[in-house]
């Protein structure tokens, strides 16, 4: 009768293999758990570091603002005063009144005049600007508080436009400017029209109008 296989030996080998596999699995699980805990710790540390950076940045920003607050306030005040100064001068208020009302320096007034393209005329600053309305409009002459409106119309032929001005007889009454300054003012107006609106054109000043022609 043939010998029966020793099954107990195979069972021992299988049991030992299973024990080794379970031990290895426990070790793997332990390593996985350690890695997970490490990742969580690193994430917490990163969040704490980020929060610390944010807090430091906010603190530095506040300290920087506080250290420069006076400078910021000064700049804001100066920018606001400059804007108001330009608007008042552009609206035709005399520069000395603007200076007194806003308590600004001569430098601020001069800067505003430059920005608005004022130029020296006699002992004051003057500027010419336009309001076009299709085939007609108005030419405004602002002489540091004196604002005069001259209506204009576009013309035909070799004439580009005609600008109505008070005649010598009516000049003082309608403008408040002495008659001896009339031609100086009209020359200034005509030259600014040519320079900004009609390059390569000419002008002639008549008794009650200025003619712009080619």
Model confidence at 88: pLDDT above 90: yes
- Give pLDDT, residue 101: 92
- Give pLDDT, residue 22: 61
Roughly what angle, to the nearest 10 degrees, separates helices 95-102 and 106-115? 130
Mean pLDDT of the 64-76 span: 69
Summarised one tens digit per residue, pLDDT across range 105-138 is: 999 999 999 999 999 999 999 999 999 988 999 9
- Give pLDDT, residue 185: 98
* CB count in 10 Å sphere of residue 188: 20
Q: What is the largest CA-CA distance in the chain?
A: 156
- Give pLDDT, residue 191: 97
The more confident residue out of 6 and 122 is 122
Model confidence at 209: pLDDT above 60: yes
Residues 6+ apart with CB under 8 A from 208: 164, 165, 166, 167
Summarised one tens digit per residue, pLDDT across range 149-208 is: 999 999 988 999 999 999 999 999 999 999 999 999 999 999 999 999 999 999 999 999
Mean pLDDT of the 6-31 span: 60
- Give pLDDT, residue 76: 80
Q: For the chain, what is the mean pLDDT?
A: 84
Nearest to 127 by CA among 76, 181, 195, 78: 195
- Give pLDDT, residue 55: 72
Question: 137 pairs with which residues across the strands?
Answer: 132, 152
**Residue 155 contacts residue 162 (beta carbons within 8 Å):** yes
Quote the pTM value: 0.67
Summarised one tens digit per residue, pLDDT across range 30-64 is: 665 665 666 566 667 667 766 776 777 677 666 66
Mean pLDDT of the 71-95 span: 86
- Give pLDDT, residue 183: 97
């Amino acid at each position: 009768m043939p010998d029966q296989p020793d099954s107990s030996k195979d069972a021992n080998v299988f049991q030992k293999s299973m024990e080794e596999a379970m031990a290895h699995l426990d070790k793997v699980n332990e390593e996985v758990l350690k890695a997970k805990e490490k990742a969580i710790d690193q994430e917490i540390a990163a969040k704490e570091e980020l929060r610390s950076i944010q807090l430091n940045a906010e603190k530095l920003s506040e300290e920087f603002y506080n250290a420069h607050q006076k400078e910021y306030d000064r700049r804001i005040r100066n920018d606001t005063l400059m804007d108001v100064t330009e608007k008042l001068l552009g609206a035709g208020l005399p520069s000395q009144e603007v200076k007194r009302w806003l308590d600004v320096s001569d430098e601020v007034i001069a800067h505003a005049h430059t920005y608005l393209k004022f130029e020296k005329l006699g002992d004051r600053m003057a500027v010419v600007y336009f309001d076009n309305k299709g085939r007609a409009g108005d030419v405004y002459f602002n002489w540091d508080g004196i604002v005069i409106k001259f209506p204009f119309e576009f013309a035909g032929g070799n004439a580009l436009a005609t600008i109505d001005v008070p005649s010598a007889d009516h000049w003082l009454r309608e403008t408040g400017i002495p008659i001896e300054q009339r031609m100086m003012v009209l020359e200034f107006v005509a030259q600014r029209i040519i320079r900004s609106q009609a390059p390569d054109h000419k002008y002639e000043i008549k008794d009650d109008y200025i003619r712009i022609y080619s």
